[in-house]
Homo-oligomer: A and B are copies of this chain.
Amino acid sequence: MVRAGLTLERLTRAGAELADEVGFDQVTVSALARRFDVKVASLYSHLKNSHDLRTRIALLALEELADRGAAALAGRAGKDALGAFADVYRDYAREHPGRYAAAQYRLDPEAAAASAGGRHSRMTRAILRGYDLTEPDETHAVRLLGSVFHGYVSLEAQGGFSHSAPDSQESWSRIVDALDALLRNWPAP
Contacts and interface: CB of A to CB of B under 8 A. Distances in A.
Q: What size tier do the contact residues of chain A reach?
A: 35 or more
Given A25-B25, A181-B187, A187-B177, A150 B140 contact: no
B151 A147 contact: yes
A75 interface: no
Interface string A142-170: 01101111111011001111001110001
A170 to B, nearest CB: 7
B182 A181 contact: yes
B170 A106 contact: no
B147 A155 contact: yes
Interface string A166-189: 100011001101101110011101
B189 A177 contact: yes
A5 interface: no
Interface of A: 25, 104, 106, 112, 136-137, 139-141, 143-144, 146-152, 154-155, 158-161, 164-166, 170-171, 174-175, 177-178, 180-182, 185-187, 189
